[in-house]
Amino acid sequence: MDQQTSSPVTPSGRWQPTPRHAPFVVAIIAIALVMVWLTSMGQNSVAAAMMIVDPRAFPWDVFSSLNGRLDALSATLASGQIWRLITPDFLHFSWTHIIFNSVILWFLGSQIEWIDGKGRLLALFLVTSLGSNGLQYLVSGPLFGGLSGVVYGILGYCWISQRRWPRFQFPPALVTFALVWMVIGFTPIPEMIGVGRMANEAHLGGFISGLALAVIMPLRRRAR
């Protein structure tokens, strides 16, 4: 197979990957889609099993204070349920929610996986998951989910890392739009227009985690 056929970059220079160029990203999206079906869009007991803390295992007033939320999380992790730090990523509560997250994750995540490597993308996924899920839980409790925090983390990573070594394709307006939308999320506007409550702290935690990784992690220039 020649280089032009195997490359995800078209002769015109446009990024156009296939699933074989980003299998890890494909796996993340596939798991999220399966979870939509298994959890009935986050409405059944399977969804509770994927939340960072099972809300059925504690009196609800426990989550009304930061100390209570910390105690519940500590008890959950002490029981060995470490997976709950990551599994909220795969909970989605509307088709709009999962479609938007999947599109951005595919567009940017595939570039990171192909150019910076699967190890870099895996580290980015884990760290931004912990940052976004952890901050959201500490502020609001366990009733949240979605890949939005990871998406914001990937966007933050691409934005800062791109300044150090230009290699990713994305419109600069995407960062502006994401930041404006994140700020709007902290206002009553989303509920007023029918979007519902947003996991704003997850967006913020993921974005900050992505920025930090872009600064801390050394650049890996993939041989072409």
DSSP 117-149: -HHHHHHHHHHHHHHHHHHHHHHH-S----SHH
pLDDT band at 222 (very low <50, low <70, confident <90, very high): low
Question: Quick one: 3-8+18-216 is in which CATH superfamily?
Answer: Rhomboid-like (1.20.1540.10)
pLDDT higher than 50, residue 116? yes
| Annotation marks residue 203 as catalytic | yes
15-49 tens-digit pLDDT: 989 999 999 999 999 999 999 999 999 889 999 99
Using alpha carbons, select from 53, 79, 104 the residue that is nearest to residue 206: 104
At 76-106, the pLDDT tens digits run 999 999 999 999 999 999 898 899 999 999 9
Q: How confident is the model at residue 220 (pLDDT cuts 50, 70, 90)?
A: low
> CA-CA distance, 144 to 154, in Å (whole number)?
19
Catalytic hit among 110, 148, 161, 209: 148
Query: What are the domain boundaries of the chain?
Result: 3-8+18-216
- The helix/strand/coil state of 144 is coil
| Least confident residue range of 48-62, 101-115, 208-222 | 208-222
Per-residue model confidence (pLDDT) at position 14: 87
* Dihedral angle, C-alpha 187, 192, 142, 85, nearest 10 °: -70
Does residue 21 have an active-site annotation? no
Reported as a pLDDT band with limits 50, 70 and 90, residue 60 is very high
Report the share of the chain in percent with pLDDT over 70: 95
> Largest Cα–Cα distance in the chain?
62
